[in-house]
Structure 1
Amino acid sequence: MAATIDISQNPTSPYYIHPSDNPGMKLVSTQFDGTGYTDWKRSMLLSLTAKNKTGFIDGSIEKPSVDDDAYKAWDICNSMLISWLLGVLDQSIARSVLYFKSARDIWVNLEERYGQTSGTLLFSLQQALHEVRQGQDSISTYYTKIKMIWDQLDSIDPIPSCECAQCACFITQKLVKSQDDRRLVEFLMKLSDGFEVIRGSILVMSPLPTISHAYRLLLQEENHKKLYQNSHPHEGVMAFAANRRNFPDKYKQQGYNRQNIGGNYDSGKGRISYYCDHCKVPRHSIQRCYKIHGYPQNFKERKISANACEGQKDDNLNADNNMGFTPTQYQ
């Protein structure tokens, strides 16, 4: 009589329990507290698939009869899965499903309570999608933010697929392409300033590229900008300095003075305070020019500067002042 093969010892069998598996193992890092069920469910399915245990929660592996040889192995695996599920649930939620007989019953109950699509959830996701912008984020960070919302929308509101036998209409592929094109335009619309050129290049492509392709192009453009800025760190400062050196001459030719250009420049002497457009000499403004507005009463008592018109005088002026002429009489 052939010996009965223990299915729990076969590593390819769903009944196999690895020596490292234990009831206290945490399959996911975050406990489910009633929010974010879609993300939690996705993480759990990935972990259970890696353990080859999804059949115990999706109903494909049914509970065998008590006298079946596989009953003991099933009972061990089921108890292990119940411990794993309770370990990743919040305490209040875990107590509400503690007395379920199988991991399948717990999974179905959680799906009924938290997995149903609601208008509130759709509204919150669409609102988050509307508000997301690149801002100061990098292309990678911005893409990650918007793709997380797209993935959640796909999970709760997936595109319907054609179930016709030997379908020739390819309606599902057309719907997916239409959705991808809309999301590409939405992704490009919310980019920050500075990507106008590459955005225009992407939009004129026919057909429109995939979002992944557009993301790679934008990432290359961002890296190019960073490389250029790092290789020309002082370009902006040098351009400003060059413009500053040409600033006085340009504005003197246009007839500006200190009050409307913020100062002027005296070649060889550095920056000065005023420049007179009437006399064409520095160190006073046209609003204070004595040749236009007249000399003050105490003009003869003031020390006259040699290169400013309010203090400019020649030997004749000195002689006349010594004779007692007032500035008005001299004029």
Structure 2
Amino acid sequence: MKDKTNDVVGTTPTKVIIKATDSYSLHHSDHPGIILMSRVLEEDNYGTWSRAMRISLSAKNKIEFITGSIKPPSPTDDDFPSWQRCNDMVISWLLNFIHPSIASSAIYAETTAEIWADLQERFSQGNDSRIFQIRQDSIQQSISIYYTKLKALWDELSSYHESVYCTCGGMEKLKQREEK
């Protein structure tokens, strides 16, 4: 627990206890430019990006800000400044790990939960197309691997045959047919 004294001029100092597990607490090393992870959200990596961001925010005890389980208190509530500071910090972290072309559409959201929901709605819809792309890539890689192995076998097989030379031009047609 940290002990914090409120030093407002003209008031009696009061002690506020902030637990390390409090979602409104920020560590002294927390700042808007902190490196939380190595991924930046782009058009095609929402699944891995969101998983990495959730892990990072959970480690910072700020996951509730993106899930919306921490609702913004009333602006007259004593907790509002703490909530606002943490919400703004998490927004800055999100914006730092979103490609600038995407971040420009998220910058005006008021809460972290709004940004998260918007990104999820826009980019998680692509799961079907991403699944299709993964399958296509897998098939293409399999075909490429198969063809490479097959070509190696053909080349080895042809090395066992004696070369035939012809001056009539018929060999050129035969060679083209074999290549096809």
Question: What is the TM-score of this pair, normalised by structure 2?
Answer: 0.66
Unaligned runs of 5+ in 1: 137-331
1:127 to 131, 136, 151: 136
- Tell me which amino acid in the other structure corresponds to 2:104: R
1:100 to 101, 109, 112: 109
| Structure 1 outlier segments of 4+, above 3 Å | 3-7, 128-133
| Count of residue pairs the alignment pairs up | 133
Question: In the superposition, relative to structure 1, how do residues 132 and 22 fare at CA in structure 2: closer, same or farther (>3 Å)?
Answer: same
- Residue 131 of structure 1, CA deviation: 5.1
Question: In the superposition, relative to structure 1, how do residues 4 and 36 fare at CA in structure 2: closer, same or farther (>3 Å)?
Answer: same
> Aligned equivalents of 2:78 and 2:15: distance in 1?
10
> Aligned equivalents of 2:68 and 2:25: distance in 1?
18
Q: Secondary structure at the match of 1:127?
A: helix
- Residue 63 of structure 1, CA deviation: 0.4
> Aligned equivalents of 2:16 and 2:44: distance in 1?
41
For the pair 1:11 / 2:8, whether they are aligned, the reply is: no
Deviations 1:116-162 (A, max 9, x none): 254322211223344556x99xxxxxxxxxxxxxxxxxxxxxxxxxx
1:54 to 59, 63, 68: 63
Deviations 1:247-286 (A, max 9, x none): xxxxxxxxxxxxxxxxxxxxxxxxxxxxxxxxxxxxxxxx
Question: In the superposition, relative to structure 1, how do residues 73 and 21 fare at CA in structure 2: closer, same or farther (>3 Å)?
Answer: same
Name 1:31's counterpart in structure 2. 40
Larger Rg: 1
- Tell me which amino acid in the other structure corresponds to 2:119: L
- Residue 32 of structure 1, CA deviation: 1.3
Name 1:87's counterpart in structure 2. 96
Question: What is the TM-score of this pair, normalised by structure 1?
Answer: 0.37
- Residue 30 of structure 1, CA deviation: 2.1
Structure showing greater relative contact order (alpha-carbon pairs closer than 8 Å, 6 or more residues apart): 2
For the pair 1:76 / 2:79, whether they are aligned, the reply is: no
Name 1:178's counterpart in structure 2. none
> Aligned equivalents of 1:76 and 1:111: distance in 2?
24
Question: In the superposition, relative to structure 1, how do residues 4 and 95 fare at CA in structure 2: closer, same or farther (>3 Å)?
Answer: same
- Residue 66 of structure 1, CA deviation: 1.5
- Residue 6 of structure 1, CA deviation: 3.4
> Aligned equivalents of 2:80 and 2:53: distance in 1?
25
